[in-house]
Structure 1
Amino acid sequence: MKRIYQSFEGADLAIVAVDMGEDRDKVAAYMAQGGYPFQALLDSDKSVARSYRVTSIPVSVFVDKEGRIAYRKLGTMMEDEMRSVVESLLRMKLIGKR
């Protein structure tokens, strides 16, 4: 995800990691140690998970400009697949500049 973030920096695209169980200090340490340039959301009450129908992890959810699910993948998502999805959503103008 770090390379995807760096590749599309400036494309008006938000990448957010969502954690559903770890405490703030563990998540902050993990993000810092990995050098992740995007933010992590602590979803301790699982409200975000419920909103986006996350029932198991890992899952990748791509949300459009209106907050609707534009693409969803259950399981591990490889970088080339993630890049392809982002490029496709940008072409369709579902994400990116309004």
Structure 2
Amino acid sequence: MKKLNVLVACGAGIATSTVVMKKVEDLFKAHNIDANLIQIKIAEAKSKQDDADMLISTTVLPTQYKIPAIKAMGFLTGIGVDKLNNEIIDAAKKIQK
């Protein structure tokens, strides 16, 4: 199976993306999904999307992307986490096909 390159973004690329990276890492490990997680500022996402398979962000998405872009505020608020987990896993499995 293909190893995914996943961008994990927040406004500054430091605080909330660190929290989300850990949650996504654990989620992928539990579902045997091989991925490189790359922590970035949301402003970098557009220029990095060509080398990535998916974007997971804790902030408002400023533009459209060529790759699946998932808003992950649920990991910070605790609201809708199951739905968010499913959305991320479904997107990852589609990319790996």
TM-score scaled by structure 2? 0.35
Larger Rg: 1
From the two aligned structures, give the one with the greater helix fraction.
2
